[in-house]
Structure 1
Amino acid sequence: MSALSVTAASKQAPKRLPIRDAATVMLIDASGREPKVLMGRRHEGVRFMPGKYVFPGGRVERADGLVSVAAPYPPHVERRLKHGVRRATASRVKAYGLAAIRELAEETGLMIGQRGVAFRARGDAWAPFVEAGIAPSLDGLHFVARAITPPGRPRRFDTRFFAADASLIAARREGVIHADAELVELCWPTLAEARSLDLPAITRLILVDLEARLEDGLERDQPTPFYRRGSQSARELV
């Protein structure tokens, strides 16, 4: 093939985006007659899912796996998080839940953890926890689903969806939600109300999985749905 042909072919070939580890947490308020879930509306100016209602979450950072925790995952949660993961090191698997907790705090100001526990972290991302004296804790996180963003999107993530009871909130930072933030609004809809919001397709599917898990009991060890191509693939149980 000539150099010209190679150049033309490279221009036509779609760019293969890396798939980044990500995590999100679905906070559940079970104090009323019907459970409610925390959701946030994304800023219209962001590139990924603008204006959509989502669960707080984001990309896993390398420093997340180096953070000490007040309590580890329940054994069955850690085992299911490791399933099907290449190089499923302890720090990598721990980082999933810690990223979900960190992103929740960054996007909503809500911190999950325990007070009065020795806590070690690196980097500025965890500074609010250090200042508040909150050590993140993984024992209240329940692994609900996993999904990989399908090809053709501006960003691709391999996301772990956790659920946690809102009673685990140990501290709250004010002023996080505003007109220029990533999340411009927070709400606590029931699951039925959430389905009427402007949701990404995968979020709508995860709500179904969440409802089933709430009915059966989040603490139970159950197979986890895995959407290998986001909402465009069959639902596997792993």
Structure 2
Amino acid sequence: MNEPEKEEKEDDSHPYRRPKDAATLILVDRSASVPKVLVGKRHDKVVFQPGKFVFPGGRVDATDSKIPVAADIPKALEKKLTGGSPKIAPARARALAVAAIREACEETGLCLGRKVARMNGAAAKLTGEWTSFAEAGLLPDPSGLFLIARAITPPGRIRRFDTRFFTADVSSIAHRVEGVVHAEAELVELVWLELGSPSLEGLHSMTKNVLRELAQRLAMGPLSHAAEVPFYHFQGGDWRRDTI
């Protein structure tokens, strides 16, 4: 069992804040002997982790539960997403998976979806951040996502998230939006790095924990929803690792 890597010291003097649901997507390329993951370099002027390599992700939006999809999430994935505490409803589980796809497309220009012959009114619901899907004749497709980990930011932090870390194969990318990553964007560069690359050592400690979990899962062969999912949360003044 992996013990959580000790987190670098962060300011924990802030008032209690309820964690907000968030989703992160780790895209994987397994075409070579050593899998590669896609990371983005954050702008030096952003508040959170400036200049660091990160995976695309962010908090769930109110509209994520209402977006039409090409295929629903598998029941086995839904069961994993509703596990742990606090509990969430199946509709919220679906919204988390959809949020991961939205954030990835919004931050990297890489959109996970499926082309449909007829949108049948769905395009009218794909507004705002989802416009690129409608323009490409795509519906987001969360059916190929796998849950790798869940982690809740400790109390006392200025920002707290209840994050679900998803992964998907690079083959799930159905459309690329040009010009999303540039010198003045939130992500200024995209890089594919091999698992175990020294460049990944600069990631946040919890993200490195999740990457180790992912590496173990990939080493076992095809991903499965039946595999145990680690749930990292703070209890009794220290990190606790449970499984879902």
1:75-94 alignment runs, 5 A limit: 75-84=75-84, 86=86, 88-94=88-94
C-alpha change, 1:86 and 1:14, in structure 2 (3 Å) is closer
Partner of 2:60: 60
Q: How far off is 1:196 after superposition? A: 4.1
Which range moves more in the overlay, 204-213 or 89-98? 89-98
* 2:177 pairs with 1:187: no
1:76-225 alignment runs, 5 A limit: 76-84=76-84, 86=86, 88-116=88-116, 118=119, 119=122, 121=125, 123-193=127-197, 196-216=200-220, 217-225=222-230
1:36-47 alignment runs, 5 A limit: 36-47=36-47
Aligned residues: 225
Partner of 1:8: none
| Contact 1:18/1:156 (8 A) holds in 2 | yes
Bigger Rg, structure 1 or 2 = 1
Amino acid at match of 1:106: E
Aligned counterparts of 1:194 and 1:24: Cα–Cα separation in 2: 21
Q: How far off is 1:195 after superposition? A: 5.7
| Contact 1:66/1:122 (8 A) holds in 2 | no
Amino acid at match of 2:232: Y
TM norm structure 2: 0.86
Aligned counterparts of 2:142 and 2:217: Cα–Cα separation in 1: 18
Aligned counterparts of 1:237 and 1:194: Cα–Cα separation in 2: 28
- Listed as ranges, the gaps of 5+ residues in structure 2 are 1-12
The structure with higher relative contact order (CA 8 Å, sep 6+) is 2
Aligned counterparts of 1:156 and 1:43: Cα–Cα separation in 2: 21
Amino acid at match of 1:96: L
| Contact 1:42/1:183 (8 A) holds in 2 | yes
C-alpha change, 1:194 and 1:130, in structure 2 (3 Å) is farther
| Contact 1:48/1:155 (8 A) holds in 2 | no
The alignment-based identity, stated in percent, is 45
Q: How far off is 1:42 after superposition? A: 1.3
Aligned counterparts of 1:20 and 1:220: Cα–Cα separation in 2: 24
Q: How far off is 1:88 after superposition? A: 2.5
Q: How far off is 1:235 after superposition? A: 1.7
Partner of 2:7: none
TM norm structure 1: 0.88
> What CA RMSD, in Å, does the superposition of the two structures yield over aligned residues?
1.9
Partner of 1:10: none
Deviations 1:54-85 (A, max 9, x none): 11111100100101111112221111101135
Q: How far off is 1:86 after superposition? A: 4.7
Aligned counterparts of 1:105 and 1:82: Cα–Cα separation in 2: 25
* 2:25 pairs with 1:30: no
Aligned counterparts of 1:71 and 1:34: Cα–Cα separation in 2: 30
- Listed as ranges, the gaps of 5+ residues in structure 1 are 1-12
Which range moves more in the overlay, 79-88 or 128-137? 79-88
Deviations 1:86-114 (A, max 9, x none): 56233211110100000000000000010
Aligned counterparts of 1:194 and 1:28: Cα–Cα separation in 2: 17
Partner of 2:8: none
